[in-house]
Amino acid sequence: MFVQDNNPIVQGKRDNKRIWSLYNESLVRRMKDILDLKDIGDYRHDLKYQSRGKKGRPFILPDKIIEILARIRAVFNASFRSLVSYLRIFQEILGVPRISYTSIFRRIRGIKVPEIMNPSSSVAIDSTGFKTTIRGDWMSNKWAKKRKGWIKLHVSADTERIMASRISLTAEHSHDATQFGKLITGSEQRVFADKAYDSRSIFNLLRNNDSEAIIPLRKNFSTLSRASPLRGKTAREIRKLGEEEWKRVHEYGKRWTVEIYFSGLKRVMGEIIRAKRTDYMIQEVGLKVLYYNIMRENTRAYG
């Protein structure tokens, strides 16, 4: 059994009924909170403080307004020219000055994505891809266009809160196992992953951290330790119990929480990356994860 604050699950079944009024209100509030304008009402004070000591031309808009525009872009996948329309709405409501879309572009691209660090005692690890073009696959195949590839998001997801604990971003050809060390803080008690993470180095890392490795092994595995005692122990246990029983005993079904996280992230934030440069692509995905984590924290469905 495992119960999380916002989405309790018991053996694939919820342990109580969803309170729809609570859930619906939380969806409304989380969007309101992520795009809240109350902090930019006194933008002149923020602008004066931010421009203090700045060399050259002072800022016209404070960072808080640029942050709101960045959130709109991440949530609605808006273009920079579309953000000018939102800024004009702010102008009508708050009287803020307008700037060009090129200025908005430079200011948003200057935002540094903070490192996502949410230590958890139980995590599920996996990866997913974000498309780097809005061109459809059918159109690309029809006209023999070269596919632009994917940005690969590697996530360590908290199995209780279903939100990203750590992330890593790579090109599409990077193997999942190479990023495992970047997704672990060392404080995890249980780590769930699929067979792509079956390697001696990963089992040894988890053994050194005193973490339980709930990772099924590839076919034709050996029960010998071979420089990895924890993997050897897992192999002998699977051989004794059978893989399905081993998964049941160790609650391997919790690994699917990372898939639930990916599904929610792409449904809410979209899976298309508009940027062309690699560093901008990485920033876009990082901001999507950052803002979706904030939204997940504000989502409630059960009493």
Could you please report the per-residue DSSP string of 26-83? HHHHHHHHHT--GGGTTHHHHHHHHHTT--SSPPSS-HHHHHHHHHHHHHH---HHHH
Q: Where are the domains of the chain?
A: 20-109, 122-297
Does the pLDDT value for residue 5 go beyond 50? Answer: no
User: 201-217: string of b/e by CB count within 10 Å (b at 16+)?
Assistant: ebbbbbbebebbbbbbb
Does the pLDDT value for residue 13 go beyond 50? Answer: no
- For residue 65, what are the β-bridge partners? none
pLDDT value of position 132: 81
H/E run at residue 152: strand 150-158
Tell me the C-alpha distance between 164 and 155, whole Å.
Answer: 6
Mean pLDDT of the chain: 86
Cβ proximity of 287 and 111 under 8 Å: yes
Instruction: Summarize the confidence of residues 181-209 as an average pLDDT.
Output: 95
Find the helix packing angle between 63-76 and 256-269, rounded to 10°: 110
Q: Which residues are within 8 A (CB) of 279 and not within 5 positions of it... i.e. 6 or more apart?
A: none
pLDDT value of position 46: 76
> Which tens digits make up the pLDDT trace of 38-50?
777 777 777 777 7
Q: Does domain 122-297 have CATH number 3.30.420?
A: yes
CA atoms within 13 A on the CB side of 179: 23
pLDDT, greater one: 90 or 197: 197
Token duo for residue 277 = 């440069």
> Which tens digits make up the pLDDT trace of 152-178?
999 999 999 999 999 999 988 889 999
CA atoms within 13 A on the CB side of 81: 1
Residue 145: count of CB within 10 angstroms of its CB: 12
Cβ proximity of 7 and 160 under 8 Å: no
> Which tens digits make up the pLDDT trace of 89-123?
888 888 888 899 999 999 999 999 999 988 899 99
